[in-house]
Amino acid sequence: MTAFKLAEEGKSVTLVEAGRLFGGTTGKTTAKITANQGNIYQELYLRYGKEAARQYFRAQSDGMSGFADLIEKYGIDCDFTRTDGIIFSRCGGERLKSTCRLLKEFGADCEIVGEVAPVKSVCALKMSGQYLFDPIKFLSALPVNFEIFENTRVTEIDAKNKILYCGNKIYANTVVIATHFPIIDKYGGYIFKLRQSLSYTIAVKEKVTDKMFLDEEQDGLSVRPYANGTLFGGFDHRTGRVKRVGSFARLINKSALYGGKAVTHCWAAADVMTFDGMPYAGAYSKKLHKVYVITGFNKWGMTNAMVCAEIIRDAICGKENEYARMFSPQRKIKACFKSALSNILTNFGNITAAYLPFTVKTVKNIPVGTGAVVRYKGKKRAVYRDENGRLYAIGRMCPHMHGQLKWNADTMTWDCPCHGSRFDIYGNIISEPSVKCCKHKI
């Protein structure tokens, strides 16, 4: 979206993609274009005041309008559908009621309702005039007036001289790091002020609703229709810190309660989280010139992608943007000490664990179809045993900052609890910030 917006302004743009376009979270999203994002407005009000909450709502509304305008302008067929966005609570719903009062002051078309089929809720915040769409159909239909290089992973960036290394060298006047989690560690402190969250989704053939729902609890259920079916998602947790195995099975059981019977697909996607619930879009660091970043969508990547793309476009084109200061990566986040400390301790603990060479576990402790960090061939390694008993061993440390990898039995991946890099059983990168694979040992 950023490349598209810059090209519209007549800029010469090259988009460099490590894998295939739309192959990451964009292709695995529930794709809700909505300003009804639960209790974020109440949280922003308590953290920064009413005007900040109002401005965030205005930004999300502008993001929604941005999609509607482009779809109309280019006549894009992407299953763009107007519907209600509903946040529900199984408790008293006091937070939702406070959020509703706040949103009404901002001019939102919303109301508090009781139980809304098919979910069973005590209280729900319904906002009209929200949208659903297919992001792949939308993006594929946008006119491309810029260069695209797929399967070209940038492994190093000389941020001062703006040289990108990807086997060859790319020399740039301006660089935008839009890599989900930023890959330059030396500047900006992103390794300390971001974390990644993994969530799970299943698709069923049955269409159980024409509205979109979200539980107000952070790891609660998400429901949305698509074509003739329905997506059920949820059970979020910090990437690399699996609380409970069997997320897909639990989603299948949940979907059955709402009429979902025939499961067609299962997948997981990672989201980058900030401490105050708002993205970072702007200068990568005060120490760098003409280097920008976009990250931290906090699970609301559709509206925020549109807003952040326009922030970066305006910054590069020398225009003012009313949301630039609010989304600035250099903003001071209030009341974040506890979250920041927890993040640092998690990172430190897993890096320390990786450097401890001793473990009593051996490959004999690994059941078929699972993985574990064990002692194997004289070294501590991350080892997976397939259904035929064959072993697949990779380094136990994430190449990014040497956190100890954790096995995720639901996704069959090795995940890093520090900054959320993920790898398959061969050590190939699934998601960043790591730009190096975990070398296959056998």
Domain map of the chain by residue range? 1-80+133-194+274-335, 350-431
pLDDT of residue 217: 83
Q: Using CA atoms, how far apart are residues 339 and 418, in angstroms rounded to an integer?
A: 14
> Phi and psi (nearest 5°) for 136?
-70, -45
Residue 80 has pLDDT above 80, yes or no: yes
CATH for 350-431 is: 2.102.10.10
Determine contact, residues 278/298, Cβ cutoff 8 Å: yes
pLDDT of residue 442: 47
Give the residue-averaged pLDDT of 312-322.
98
Higher-confidence residue: 27 or 320?
320
Reported confidence tier of residue 440, pLDDT bands at 50, 70, 90? low
Higher-confidence residue: 45 or 360?
45
pLDDT in tens, 95-109: 999 999 999 999 999
- Looking at the chain, the number of H-run helices and the number of E-run strands are 9, 24
CATH for 1-80+133-194+274-335 is: 3.50.50.60
Residue closest to 226 by CA, chosen among 408, 37, 389, 29 = 29
Reported confidence tier of residue 163, pLDDT bands at 50, 70, 90? very high
Q: How many CB atoms lie within 10 A of CB 186?
A: 12
DSSP annotation of 405 reads P
Is it true that 1-80+133-194+274-335 and 350-431 share their CATH fold?
A: no
pLDDT in tens, 196-213: 999 999 999 999 999 999
Give the residue-averaged pLDDT of 207-229.
90
Would you report the helix, strand and coil content of the chain in percent, each value rounded to 5?
Answer: 25, 30, 45
Q: How many CB atoms lie within 10 A of CB 134?
A: 17
Give the residue-averaged pLDDT of 120-145.
94
Give the residue-averaged pLDDT of 173-195.
96
280, β-bridge pairs: 295
Give yes or no for a cis peptide into 182 (omega within 30° of 0): no
Q: Which residues contact 244 (CB under 8 A, 6 or more apart)?
A: 235
Average pLDDT, the chain: 94
pLDDT of residue 334: 93
CA distances from 297 to 24, 110, 148, 401 (A): 14, 23, 23, 23
Maximum Cα–Cα distance for the chain, whole Å? 65
Q: Which residues contact 397 (CB under 8 A, 6 or more apart)?
A: 354, 403, 404, 405, 438
Residue 243 has pLDDT above 80, yes or no: no
Residue 441 has pLDDT above 60, yes or no: no
The pTM score is 0.94
CA-atom Rg of the chain in angstroms? 22
125, β-bridge pairs: 87, 112
Q: Cα–chain-centroid distance for residue 304?
A: 11
